[in-house]
Structure 1
């Protein structure tokens, strides 16, 4: 499955019908959530998706005849989305589902059937919405599964086309030490690899804060519910949209340089607790501006498309405090310390490059299935990681020798 996002240009009549789809899909979602909540409080049991569908069909014939103006499959897709939201909640992946608001920024609805994309006419055909003009800048081949129509806070319309192209991802390459690169993300430099290369942090939000603050101050002075407030709100949304687009473009360029153009076949990254890190009120804005989560997610699927490996190491490994030369661990390492000298081997370490090298070595140890004693010493890792091409037997032999070498290094 791959998704292709296109900008659409509906005419005034199509916009009215699209807005009806937004409203009806949102209403069905909120109605179904209310029905499930009320039924659970009364009986202690949950309503199934099939029971909600039967109630929806009955209500369309009785008191909600206006729902027949839109595509029925879009309404059923709202019920399916609510069922998925409850599944994610019960499995601990998300919070309890919330009611959708018509005043929120993004509005959307789905069309799971009877959708065609006409590249010759540059149009997308949906049920009850034929011939929507679109900028089809990327062709595709395969079966169209679902089309999601969205409206951005700035008033732009998009269509996200999910396609089953039948392409099988290539088999991942063999993990080799010489083709493995450790990656460390930061705020001063956005990306640092184990080879010493650094990518500057663009600080996209910071560059637009002055303009954004000025427009938001004007918005705060507008009367609520007025037309001028709506116009000013759209101006603020356009600034946020430009910031998001710049960050999106930077992320795709950085991941393309790694997954598409780099000779490395394996990347090791740290499994960061970003939700916990943004609770720091002094660094929250800078962390969210960097977009670490988007970068790691994008890099993951691009590695999968190109047959490369992405290794995630545990978030509790002391990658910054550990000397990559001798394995000495510092007791404390404040963020203000960017360079430090190892008390054991007297080597001068760049904080970020040293962390990237440790991430690479620990990731190699994880991929080889080495024991904890190997992962605790970069010296032993460098010895055992060279046995990748010789198979698991050689790596096990390196793990037996590691404790003696780690003790001598300490």
Structure 2
């Protein structure tokens, strides 16, 4: 384990539903913030392509991994087995833990992917511009399962604290700002656009 170079303030031990123990250590250390320099990139979050990055010259896309759908069959089988167990029985208690392990696997897969993705984006871009999404609103639509599975809000949070810690900056643009309808040269607003039009010439 890596040595902690700082004064330990508190240690919080927690136990998960799958009987795993974790210790969260809070300690004081020197300010490690460094001023990052480099390009400014805008990222567009979606469900077909989780992240589309544009740095003013080139585009790059990263697809979502959809962990809930990946483990849906395993989860369904274990939940069906749970429903057949008698209430209060030891078999039911053991099956509850088996179901919890699948949920844990889904959550860990999503977290691992989002941490690696946010790390890559922060390493390559000291300033990131992103749309201020209303994830709670999107979670009330028919796309709720896909939105929550993608972890859009979680990704923005990860980008925010990692950029702040390393001297970068996350800029959130109002979701109602008509960026698609504006010409990037003369700022003319084209109100005739609909969602089916992805490119247009001013």
TM-score, normalized by the shorter chain, greater than 0.5: yes
Instruction: Name the SS of the counterpart of 2:119 in structure 1.
Output: helix
Question: Residue 246 of structure 1 aligns with which residue?
Answer: 109
Question: Residue 190 of structure 1 aligns with which residue?
Answer: 50
Contact kept in structure 1, 2:51 and 2:61, CA below 8 Å? yes
1:317 correspondence with 2:177: yes
Q: Deviations for 1:102-144, whole angstroms, at most 9, x for unmatched residues?
A: xxxxxxxxxxxxxxxxxxxxxxxxxxxxxxxxxxx33321011
Larger helix proportion of the pair: 1
Q: For residues 216 and 320 of structure 1, what CA distance do their matches in structure 2 show?
A: 44
Question: Residue 100 of structure 2 aligns with which residue?
Answer: 237
Question: Residue 131 of structure 2 aligns with which residue?
Answer: 270
- CA 1:325–1:229 in structure 2 vs 1: closer, same or farther (change >3 Å)? farther
Question: Residue 118 of structure 2 aligns with which residue?
Answer: 255
Contact kept in structure 2, 1:320 and 1:333, CA below 8 Å? no
Q: For residues 90 and 191 of structure 2, what CA distance do their matches in structure 1 show?
A: 60
Q: For residues 246 and 220 of structure 1, what CA distance do their matches in structure 2 show?
A: 26
Q: CA deviation at 1:322?
A: 4.3
Question: Residue 198 of structure 2 aligns with which residue?
Answer: 340
Structure showing greater radius of gyration is 1
Where do 5+ consecutive residues of structure 2 fail to align?
none
Q: For residues 191 and 13 of structure 2, what CA distance do their matches in structure 1 show?
A: 53
Q: Deviations for 1:286-317, whole angstroms, at most 9, x for unmatched residues?
A: 00000011111111111112211211111211
Contact kept in structure 2, 1:267 and 1:309, CA below 8 Å? yes
- CA 1:143–1:224 in structure 2 vs 1: closer, same or farther (change >3 Å)? same
Q: For residues 286 and 257 of structure 1, what CA distance do their matches in structure 2 show?
A: 23
Question: Residue 199 of structure 1 aligns with which residue?
Answer: 62
Q: For residues 182 and 278 of structure 1, what CA distance do their matches in structure 2 show?
A: 24
Contact kept in structure 2, 1:259 and 1:302, CA below 8 Å? yes
Q: For residues 325 and 283 of structure 1, what CA distance do their matches in structure 2 show?
A: 34
Q: For residues 223 and 188 of structure 1, what CA distance do their matches in structure 2 show?
A: 42
Question: Residue 95 of structure 1 aligns with which residue?
Answer: none
Alignment length (residue pairs): 198
Q: For residues 268 and 168 of structure 1, what CA distance do their matches in structure 2 show?
A: 23
Could you list the structure 1 runs, at least 4 aligned residues long, displaced by more than 6 angstroms after superposition: none
- CA 1:311–1:232 in structure 2 vs 1: closer, same or farther (change >3 Å)? same
Q: For residues 340 and 139 of structure 1, what CA distance do their matches in structure 2 show?
A: 51
Q: For residues 15 and 181 of structure 2, what CA distance do their matches in structure 1 show?
A: 47
Question: Residue 149 of structure 2 aligns with which residue?
Answer: 289
Contact kept in structure 2, 1:278 and 1:284, CA below 8 Å? yes
Q: For residues 76 and 148 of structure 2, what CA distance do their matches in structure 1 show?
A: 18
Q: For residues 316 and 168 of structure 1, what CA distance do their matches in structure 2 show?
A: 36
Contact kept in structure 1, 2:32 and 2:166, CA below 8 Å? no
Could you state the TM-score of these two structures normalised by the residue count of structure 1? Answer: 0.45
Say what the alpha-carbon RMSD is for the aligned residues. 2.1
Could you state the TM-score of these two structures normalised by the residue count of structure 2? Answer: 0.89
- CA 1:139–1:319 in structure 2 vs 1: closer, same or farther (change >3 Å)? farther
Output aligned runs, 1:6-405, within 5 Å: 137-171=1-35, 179-194=39-54, 195-260=58-123, 262=124, 264-280=125-141, 282-322=142-182, 324=184, 327-331=188-192, 333-334=194-195, 337=196, 340-342=198-200, 345=201
Q: For residues 290 and 202 of structure 1, what CA distance do their matches in structure 2 show?
A: 7
**RCO higher in structure (CA 8 A, sep ≥6):** 2
